[in-house]
């Protein structure tokens, strides 16, 4: 899977872990920054990564800031992006199976690496159920 990843300074350490884990699992990762812990504006990095998903350059996106919220706000401003903040695996499962979420937002200051690994695995491996959910997604995209 092609995955776009980005973080601000608060998500930098978590992004390093996530990127390494994704590559270990055999995914192709395009890193949109940041590349250190100097203060950075989340929109400068989250927007291009989310646009990569919207434009088909990436299959999924993963955005990381302190709580995950700011990146989700930025990503959800882009048409055809359905970004969700997930703090545990069941949220990721429901976001994928019912909402066909294509961007995962994580809080680098909120959850540990073991939970992140479970969330990532669930987000990447859960299929969209379709059916009645397709009608609901279509209403979002109108």
The mean per-residue pLDDT over the stretch 123-128 comes to: 97
Active-site residue among 17, 27, 98, 133?
A: 98
DSSP string covering 48-97: HHHHHHHTTS-SEEEEEESSSHHHHHHHTTSTT--EEE-SSHHHHHHHHH
Whole-prediction pTM:
0.95
User: Residue 85's closest CA among 100, 70, 102, 68?
Assistant: 68
pLDDT in tens, 74-93: 999 999 999 999 999 999 99
Ordered by where they begin, the domains of the chain are 2-141 (3.40.1400.10)
**Statement: residue 140 has pLDDT above 90:** no
pLDDT in tens, 16-38: 999 999 999 999 999 999 999 99
Look up 98 and say whether it is catalytic: yes
């Amino acid at each position: 899977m092609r995955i776009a990843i980005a973080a601000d300074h608060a998500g930098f350490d978590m992004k390093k872990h996530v990127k390494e884990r994704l590559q270990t699992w055999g995914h192709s990762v395009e890193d949109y920054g940041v590349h250190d812990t100097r203060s950075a504006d989340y929109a400068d990095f989250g927007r291009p990564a989310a646009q990569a998903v919207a434009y088909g350059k990436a299959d999924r996106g993963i955005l990381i800031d302190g709580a995950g919220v700011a990146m989700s706000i930025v990503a959800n401003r882009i048409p055809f992006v359905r970004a969700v903040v997930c703090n545990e695996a069941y949220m990721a499962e429901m976001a994928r199976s019912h909402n066909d979420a294509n961007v995962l937002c994580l809080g680098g200051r909120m959850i540990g690496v073991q939970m992140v690994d479970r969330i990532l695995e669930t987000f990447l491996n859960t299929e969209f159920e379709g059916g009645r959910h397709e009608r609901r997604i279509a209403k979002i995209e109108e």
